[in-house]
Amino acid sequence: MKIIPLMTCLVICAVSNYTFAGDVQAGKALAEKYVCASCHGPDLKHPIAPNYPKIAGQHEDYLYYALKSYKVDNNPQVGRGNAIMGGQVKQFTLAQLKDLAAYIASLPGDFVVQK
């Protein structure tokens, strides 16, 4: 059967295209310039209020899509509705959001996987 090698190739191609490749140093500069620490804490894992998330060490793809969803207006099924974050991310390009996500994901976090 020739279907198995074809399927294997398709899976490998799909996985290899699933990279974010944000620039950690560019993301760090953006996080510092736009003062992410003012809400999320100096290490981005000790927020100033209990309803603000700890973001350090979160998965890069999750962070990117979360940040991107704040850019969506008037569609609660797709976007996120926090006015502060919405105002912050609207000024960034998608490439800059990838950089921010890469930087935040590179930080040591407190996330624990329970078994």
Domain that holds residue 93: 22-106
Q: Which of 55, 46, 66, 53 is nearest to 103 (CA)?
A: 55
- 8 Å CB contact between 106 and 24: yes
- 8 Å CB contact between 30 and 78: no
- 8 Å CB contact between 67 and 100: yes
Bigger pLDDT: 113 vs 38 = 38
Quick: pLDDT tens for 21-55.
899 999 999 999 999 999 999 999 999 999 999 99
Least confident interval from 5-9, 53-57, 71-75, 99-103: 5-9
Which CATH number is 85's domain given? Answer: 1.10.760.10
What is the domain count for the chain? 1
- Residue 115 resides in a domain: no
For the entire predicted model, the pTM comes to 0.77
CA 106, CA 55: separation in Å to the nearest integer?
11
Dihedral, 67, 65, 53, 31 alpha carbons, nearest 10: -40
